[in-house]
Chains A and B, each alone.
Chain A
Amino acid sequence: MADFETPEIKEYPVIPRLKPDVMSHSKPFVAKEQFQEPLGFPGELVDNWQDKAIEKMGELQGKYRSLQVFLDICVKCGACTDKCHYYLGTTDPKNMPVARQDLFRQVYRRYFTFAGKFFGKLGMPGFVGARELDKEVLDDWYSYFHQCSQCRRCSVYCPYGIDTAEISMAAREVLDAVGVGQKYCNEIIGKVFKIGNNLGLPEPALADTLEGLEEEVKDDTGIDVKYPLDVKGAEVLLVTPSADFFAEPHVDGLIGYGKVFHEAGISWTVSSYASEAANFGMFIGSYENMRRVSMRIREAALELGVKRIIFGECGHAWRVAYSFLNTLAGPFDFLDPRYPVPQHICEFTYDLIQKGALKFDKSANDHRVMTYHDSCNVARASRMGPMPGGQFKIPREIIKATCNHFYDMPADTIHEGTYCCGGGGGLLTDDLMELRVKGAMPRMQALKHVVDNYGVTHMAAICAICKSQFSKVMPYYGFTMDQIVSVHQLVSDAIVMTNNEV
């Protein structure tokens, strides 16, 4: 099945020996013209691509001061080198965060610093760590900036807080600007513009799917729980990843949200126009595309006349929602100011638990011994609830309220030190399977630790990408695909339903 070796899980984490260029072959499919054009990018590598790329770099450095600072201030201390899951899993030195940054930084030095220009003209740019932008460099960018899931773990350990994710986003934006886009991300963004979600689920299919869920919950519980679509005047607009409609274990989380809304007696709806929480515009570093995707949520909220917007379990969507939505698509002065704009489904459920509004039979989850995977964009790029660290506490409190058995993974692999699932940042595609499997190694190692020591049987997450990635890669490490679950699946299984009419 696979033409690569799954990394071995050792007894203790070890920093692997370097194997230069061992992942230089890893490249996702390049987007064809049909996927580039709807996003406003050239269909293929443009003729004067060097000039274009350098011009774009200059533009981005002017627009994002952080980028300029990150390119200037690295002192090569090495603190980040062993912090990237892709380096630990692949052993390729270019997957060390500083080396990845330097692929971009060397070009920055050549064209934007005095030393680089001076020695560049003398034909010896390497003397000051600068390099000409040639095709080899461009190919390296395409390969290694698609081996970064923009998880920001390295930035936690950098004494200067240099964020490789931002450099990686900038590099991808330059690549798009010269016509070398990534098929997976760009095809998907086009589908959001055309149909409303990443999957390309049109309204009738969405309606049919939600109706099926209503029947399923009725069969299971005997209660009429609604999964409403395009209902004008609903209190809450739920914006959730389209994987929640389509895939397992995601759909069990969606079933859980519906049960919580039902028990809370709060009317809600999904919008077919904004039927996607994910925003891949962020992955490709494109502000314009990120804004276009976000605007759909604003338009849907206005059209449906809702009072609140709640986001479902999606990691990077929550970063966009929590950190950027107001400036991308605000102001949201038409929503009820008594609630956070927007709110996370976990905040919503946790709040109800605090108020004693939900009843649980925890024994329903007694066949599970749980652990929790912090998704990177929730952990390191956002917050949740009114207290610092709420993004770590709230999901765990929900699990503890619904399950009797919970154990955390080792401390340096959770909270702000969490390891990426290996498939984030626009890399959740079959053409990067080797990278995904290898990049999952540190998380799998931490999971194995709690499986061996505490008998953990399941890991919960609140991100559609994490869930899909784990169900795919866990079998490579001797686990089974159903050991990853949605947090709201645990809620769904333990909640005691009453006959509330909404």
Chain B
Amino acid sequence: MAIEVNGKSYEVDEEGYLANLNEWEPAIAEVMAKEDDCELTDSHWEVINFLREYYEEYQIAPAVRVLTKAIGKKLGPDKGNSKYLYELFPYGPAKQACKYAGLPKPTGCV
């Protein structure tokens, strides 16, 4: 499977997650979001960028409390909670935001 972004084709897995992390570019996130009827705002990008930075360092997406804390520090305590993140990413911040960020889907009992 693959998605088309700016005339270029990128391989994705059965669930639409990017196969090769290194191929990611912002336009891919835009296209994926559009498929979900989601318009990416600066708030979404704050999360996506943090996920990518964290993944770069730890090879895994951040745990929910790590993420809410980081977003809270950056954007204010009223946004440092999972309610805010679910408003941005209704399919779940861990899965939906990871997908847009080009990261693998978190697996397990989550």
Contacts and interface: CB of A to CB of B under 8 A. Distances in A.
Contacts of A431: 14-15
Contact of B109 (A191, A205, A209, A468): A468
A188 B95 contact: no
Given A200-B107, A209-B65, A278-B108, A248 B82 contact: yes
A210 B58 CA distance: 14
A208 B110 contact: no
B59 A243 contact: no
Counting chain B CB atoms within 10 Å of each CB, which of A191, A197, A205, A242 scores highest?
Answer: A205
Main secondary structure of the interface of B (DSSP, over half): loop
B3 interface: no
Contacts of B94: 246-247
Counting chain A CB atoms within 10 Å of each CB, which of B95, B108, B110 scores highest?
Answer: B108
A188 B60 contact: no
B24 to A, nearest CB: 18
A209 B70 CA distance: 12
Contacts of B107: 184, 187-188, 191, 198-200
Interface string A171-206: 000000000000110011001000001111110110
A102 B57 CA distance: 51
A467 B95 CA distance: 16
B63 to A, nearest CB: 4
Contact of B66 (A183, A212, A314, A430): A212
Interface string A209-249: 10011001000000000000000000000000111011110
Interface in B86-110: 86, 92, 94-95, 106-110
A251 interface: yes
Given A251-B63, A431-B14, A204 B109 contact: no
Counting chain B CB atoms within 10 Å of each CB, which of A246, A250, A278, A428 scores highest?
Answer: A246
B85 to A, nearest CB: 10
B110 A201 contact: no
Given A205-B59, A209-B65, A248-B64, A243 B15 contact: no
A465 interface: yes
B47 to A, nearest CB: 16
B64 A251 contact: yes
Contacts of A241: 108-109
A339 interface: no
Interface string A304-323: 00000000001000000000
Nearest to A428: B109
A202 B69 contact: no
B91 to A, nearest CB: 8
A216 B69 contact: yes
Contact of B110 (A199, A202, A314): A199
B50 to A, nearest CB: 13
Nearest to A191: B107
Contacts of A216: 65, 69
Nearest to B107: A188
Contacts of A245: 63
Contact of A202 (B15, B60, B64, B82): B60
A440 interface: no
A431 B13 CA distance: 12
Interface residues of A, number: 39
B69 A199 contact: no
B60 A200 contact: yes
A160 interface: no
Nearest to B95: A430
Interface in A250-298: 250-251, 278
Contacts of A334: none
A414 B58 CA distance: 41
A184 B65 CA distance: 25
Interface in A425-451: 428, 430-431
A243 B109 contact: yes
Nearest to B68: A248
A243 B58 contact: no
A212 B69 contact: yes
A209 B14 contact: no
A247 B69 CA distance: 14
A480 to B, nearest CB: 10
A205 B60 contact: yes
Contacts of B108: 188, 191, 197-199, 241-243, 246, 278
Nearest to A315: B109
A465 B108 CA distance: 9
B12 to A, nearest CB: 13
A464 B65 contact: no
Contact of A199 (B82, B95, B106): B106
A246 B64 contact: yes
A29 interface: yes
A248 B15 CA distance: 23
Nearest to A472: B92
Given A251-B64, A430-B15, A204 B110 contact: no
Interface in B8-46: 14-15
18 contacts: A29-B15, A198-B107, A199-B108, A199-B110, A204-B57, A204-B58, A205-B63, A208-B66, A209-B62, A209-B66, A243-B110, A246-B64, A246-B106, A246-B110, A247-B110, A250-B110, A251-B63, A428-B109
Interface of A: 29, 183-184, 187-188, 191, 197-202, 204-205, 208-209, 212-213, 216, 241-243, 245-248, 250-251, 278, 314, 428, 430-431, 464-465, 467-468, 472, 481
Given A246-B94, A246-B108, 10 more contacts: A29-B14, A184-B107, A187-B107, A205-B60, A208-B66, A209-B65, A243-B110, A247-B110, A248-B65, A468-B109
